[in-house]
Structure 1
């Protein structure tokens, strides 16, 4: 869906400026799109800035990144884009650094780990716009029926899954390693095993012993014992796993805040706990952020900066986070949410954010590496497969992609 939003009553005189923004749609239906959020925000901004017109185009997540790439390739870059990745544009010198558009208070208010994730070659170009973390969701009714308590270790998770399977639960643990978002489930498990996608100096480290042990455990202790449901993990997408949870067919799965509303609508009572690790709750959790960026082409640096300072004020950040069940990217808005009783459902996710580790989005190679992970990782836990061999293949591809940066 494309939505064009703009102001009214402008004369079109020589002093007027029109800014263009391409944004992603976080809504879950035609009646609940991000159009309303941007419509209200633009109306408020233009009322205070009569010489500025804001045109916002909203696209689905299936189309928005591609649309911005097409605009840039055609020499028609928007002034701003709010999408999933920024590093390629930054590496090509197409973006303003954050400190050239944002005021000092606005830039300083971003959560520190999000600032770091928004950097290319030590300079911040990606401005975080929305964030989320992951927790282990479990179906309370199914757990109570089986006499279970939420797991804190891998062994407990496997035991709980076995008990749920014995009770006839369709998906004791839903393991979505299908192509939709396999990189997320993979990273969550790698972190819980003490590993991850990169090492301490930022190089890809996909085939480390820790990571191999993690996927070997998944293959042997969950998938191999038929504890992940009737759909092979490599064919199970996140959206389908979430839908199955909302239907009451899943005992446990990793989920982000939007799953709360989906489950509540279907009347599923659920609990949430930190992701189990080898010997206790995982010390690190996966965080995800989407990004705002400012393109240089139209040379609207000052006007873009003024608008983005408005976008990032507490009122607007909180309005967006609350409407779409996402976490604020600023420390001031997070503090407000933490102290507001109405926001208590998001508190467990907020608590995880300072501990979170994000995808290596500052690497221009990440988009191709992520795509390869989505394509291949599901096969690592299939019958007769070698997790070690698949992770070695992924590492080779990642190393080649990194060398080409």
Structure 2
């Protein structure tokens, strides 16, 4: 079955600039300070024309909601919060940290309530950030981007992933609604000892990696540790598989200028994931195993590989030490360019009804500046824009491997945005459908049709909004 939504899709293609393709410019300078990339120069909260001084704000409580509960990101943020409070003794940070899933579930109610947080982390894309912009709970940050030079600190490609058009229709252009602390990519963690015992080495090609899965399973070892009870982990695993079959097309589709999901790449990636489950390359009952539990199992030696984000590195290296390695998923040919899902961590945003927007802006600048990048690096966290400490990390250490992978992916234009950015409902549709693929209840063809139906429905609604706006 093929669903056709070409006309609607074409209207959204024009909405996202081609420069948003995440690539070599990730580590380069971005736009001109004070501009938002869409002609809305100077748009923002309208409250600040010079760098705010939190010391002059009086006694202030800054309420912050985030999802940085893991060892490395939690540690660096705790340190930065203490430093901010020490620098500004009149400011108290009241922090609420929740898991990614819990934050997604509770944040909409929190920002629409009578006493919303001042600062939140909002997931990029249509399900969260765009929905918040349409509803009004987020403040545009373009004034602050100019004041603090965020537009030169960050490359335009990363800032683009935190932009939404003024009418709330388009993701990837328009006003700036957040900045991100961390860079991230879905990497291939490996247990050096298990690979060595199986006569394997870190794979140089994708084929070498997949051939090794069969060898590990034959030896009675679990090839790939994986837990999908939280549903989102399968989005990352499937995304990495999907990227191997057509990274450029996947990126274009997520950004609204591609040809959708009812295609060979989607079906083949789903078939590969289902085959891994059937062959025992993944744990039995993976849909019932928690993400964090799977990571702990891998750290204890259960599983040769773990395909997940760089945000797990700090938690894994503590128990594993020198046994742990990480690399981007290997390329199709030895020495080729790697590709994988990634970009940056959740955006840090200011709510539109914050009582302390200028203190909140100073806080965002503080936790993302060059000093913050060095703090992140020392905690085993990948900064979105690496600073001095990154150059001092040993190249053979697992931290050095992570940073080197980030640089290779950036230079190769090898980062593909997360698939759940694609539509307002895509996170729920994709995560539920992937559970069916893993359990064997959903065929690759049915999975592709489900994905395409959601995508086409969103494209049609997008087309209708643009048409309606054009007739007013």
TM range, smaller chain = 0.7 to 0.9
Q: State the distance in 2 between where 1:298 and 1:150 align.
A: 49
Q: In structure 2, do the counterparts of structure 1 residues 244 and 208 end up closer, same or farther at CA, with 3 Å as the change threshold?
A: same
Q: Secondary structure at the match of 1:228?
A: coil
Q: Is 2:308 the counterpart of 1:262?
A: no
Residue of structure 1 equivalent to 2:349: 293
Q: State the distance in 1 between where 2:299 and 2:257 align.
A: 38
Residue of structure 1 equivalent to 2:393: 341
Residue of structure 1 equivalent to 2:417: 358
Please state how far the C-alpha of 1:187 moved relative to its aligned partner. Answer: 1.1
Residue of structure 2 equivalent to 1:216: 271
**Structure 2: runs of 5+ lacking an equivalent:** 1-55, 166-172, 463-472
TM-score w.r.t. the length of structure 1 is 0.80
The structure whose residues are more often helix, as a share, is 2
Q: Is the 8 A contact 2:239 2:341 kept in 1?
A: yes
Q: Is the 8 A contact 2:182 2:382 kept in 1?
A: yes
2:330 to 276, 296, 300: 276
Q: In structure 2, do the counterparts of structure 1 residues 214 and 153 end up closer, same or farther at CA, with 3 Å as the change threshold?
A: farther
Please state how far the C-alpha of 1:191 moved relative to its aligned partner. Answer: 0.9
Q: In structure 2, do the counterparts of structure 1 residues 256 and 100 end up closer, same or farther at CA, with 3 Å as the change threshold?
A: same
Number of residue pairs the alignment of both structures matches: 378
> How do residues 46-125 of structure 1 correspond to structure 2 at under 5 angstroms?
46-47=88-89, 53-61=91-99, 62-85=101-124, 86-102=129-145, 103-121=147-165, 122-123=173-174, 124-125=176-177
Q: State the distance in 2 between where 1:56 and 1:76 align.
A: 13
Q: State the distance in 2 between where 1:184 and 1:289 align.
A: 14
Q: Is 2:282 the counterpart of 1:241?
A: no
> How do residues 1-400 of structure 1 correspond to structure 2 at under 5 angstroms?
16=58, 18=60, 20-28=62-70, 36-47=78-89, 53-61=91-99, 62-85=101-124, 86-102=129-145, 103-121=147-165, 122-123=173-174, 124-169=176-221, 171-178=222-229, 179-195=231-247, 196=250, 198-199=252-253, 202=256, 205-220=260-275, 222-229=276-283, 231-257=284-310, 258-259=312-313, 261-266=315-320, 269-279=323-333, 283-287=338-342, 288-298=344-354, 300-323=356-379, 325-330=380-385, 334-341=386-393, 344=400, 346-352=402-408, 354=410, 355-359=414-418, 365-366=423-424, 368-383=425-440, 385-400=442-457
Q: What's the CA shift string for 1:299-345, capped at 9, x where partnerless?
A: 6444433343333321123324533x322123xxx142331136535
Q: In structure 2, do the counterparts of structure 1 residues 295 and 362 end up closer, same or farther at CA, with 3 Å as the change threshold?
A: farther
TM-score w.r.t. the length of structure 2 is 0.70
Q: State the distance in 1 between where 2:315 and 2:138 align.
A: 36
Q: In structure 2, do the counterparts of structure 1 residues 352 and 261 end up closer, same or farther at CA, with 3 Å as the change threshold?
A: farther
Q: In structure 2, do the counterparts of structure 1 residues 347 and 296 end up closer, same or farther at CA, with 3 Å as the change threshold?
A: same
